[in-house]
Amino acid sequence: MSHTWDPDRYLAYADERGRPFVDLLARVHAERPHVVVDLGCGPGNLTALLADRWAGARVTGIDSSPEMIDAAREIDGIAWEVADLREWARPDPLALRAPVDVLVSNATLQWLPDHLELLPALVDRVAPGGWLAFQVPGNFGEPSHTIRTDIAGREPYAAHVRDVAVPASHEPADYLRVLLDLGCEVDAWETTYLHVLAGPDPVFDWVSGTGARPTLQALPDDLRPLFEEEFRELLREAYPADPSGRVVLPFRRIFVVARKPGGVTVDA
């Protein structure tokens, strides 16, 4: 089932969502790349960091959401494209597309159930000596996700949401193994951030802009408020506010930076 994204809702926690991107980028030691691509660029606020760091590069942001790309087009100096990541990664037998010196994907691959099998195709798009860097959430066993799954599995909701997109990821060692087998130098790690949130239902606000959004959109108008009410209540129990109203959301992230063999790229 299809769903749409809301750039404004996504950007409500722009600082928290952006920090993993900055931490990922810190491990990419490309000095003077010519072609830089951000797969799953969203509203483009983080893609702009790529253009700032590598001012001489041709930077392109790609996202499957027209709504996200419309928001991104407010940012000048970057090429924006609406495209499916899997289509973009397809083999190019005529070599019509320029190889990518730095290929970045931030919190996107988790939406593709087969993304582990997609890694060889992504590496193929990278120039010899170039870089592939991605980050995916690794918190799908936490209440922020399991509560949604439990509620969605019950009637009357299940009939409406059983086919919706649900994000998932693998362990760092899984990504490491695949990319090592492809001949890459690989740095893989994980970090758990402790996001301090505020407001009456901040964890619901967080997940309703990302992982839970397809489920909420798939529900009919008469059922969505009931689902949301139960979801909010259980999230408040799982993530209680302290006396000052602060809520701590632990968020595990998985990072991978791989350098493709070959080429003469000079490290910074």
pLDDT in tens, 171-213: 999 999 999 999 999 999 999 999 999 988 999 999 988 778 8
Residue 95 is predicted with a pLDDT of 61
pLDDT band at 138 (very low <50, low <70, confident <90, very high): very high
Residue 94 is predicted with a pLDDT of 55
With respect to residue 70, please indicate whether it lies within any of the assigned structural domains: yes
pLDDT of residue 264 exceeding 80: no
Instruction: Please write the tens of the pLDDT for every residue from 90-136.
Output: 887 656 678 999 999 999 999 999 999 999 999 999 999 999 999 99
Taking the whole predicted model, whether its pTM rises above 0.85 is answered as yes
DSSP string, 106-167: ES-GGG-TTHHHHHHHHHHHEEEEEEEEEEEE--TTSHHHHHHHHHHTSTTTHHHHTTS---
With respect to residue 28, please indicate whether it lies within any of the assigned structural domains: yes
Task: For residues 225 and 206, give the distance between their C-alpha atoms in angstroms, rounded to a whole number.
Answer: 17
Instruction: Please write the tens of the pLDDT for every residue from 204-260.
Output: 999 988 778 889 989 999 999 999 999 999 999 999 999 999 999 999 999 999 999
Count the domains in the chain. Answer: 1
Residue 96 is predicted with a pLDDT of 65
Task: For residues 202 and 199, give the distance between their C-alpha atoms in angstroms, rounded to a whole number.
Answer: 5
Residue 210 is predicted with a pLDDT of 78
Taking residues 35-53, what's their average pLDDT? 95
Task: For residues 266 and 268, give the distance between their C-alpha atoms in angstroms, rounded to a whole number.
Answer: 7
With respect to residue 221, please indicate whether it lies within any of the assigned structural domains: no
With respect to residue 41, please indicate whether it lies within any of the assigned structural domains: yes
Residue 10 is predicted with a pLDDT of 47
Cβ contacts of 250 within 8 Å, gap of 6 or more: 139, 142, 192, 193, 194, 195
Task: For residues 40 and 138, give the distance between their C-alpha atoms in angstroms, rounded to a whole number.
Answer: 17
pLDDT of residue 5 exceeding 60: no
With respect to residue 100, please indicate whether it lies within any of the assigned structural domains: yes
Residue 150 is predicted with a pLDDT of 96
CATH code assigned at 186: 3.40.50.150
Task: Provide the domain limits for residue 125.
Answer: 7-143+166-193+250-259
With respect to residue 198, please indicate whether it lies within any of the assigned structural domains: no
Task: For residues 189 and 26, give the distance between their C-alpha atoms in angstroms, rounded to a whole number.
Answer: 13
H helix intervals, the chain: 7-10, 14-25, 47-53, 66-72, 85-88, 115-125, 143-152, 158-161, 172-181, 202-208, 213-218, 224-238
With respect to residue 237, please indicate whether it lies within any of the assigned structural domains: no
With respect to residue 113, please indicate whether it lies within any of the assigned structural domains: yes
The answer to whether the Cα torsion of 22, 174, 179, 110 is positive or negative is negative
pLDDT band at 3 (very low <50, low <70, confident <90, very high): low
CA dihedral 125, 174, 265, 29 (to 10 degrees): 120
pLDDT of residue 1 exceeding 50: no
Phi, psi values for residue 19, rounded to 5°: -60, -45
Residue 7 is predicted with a pLDDT of 52
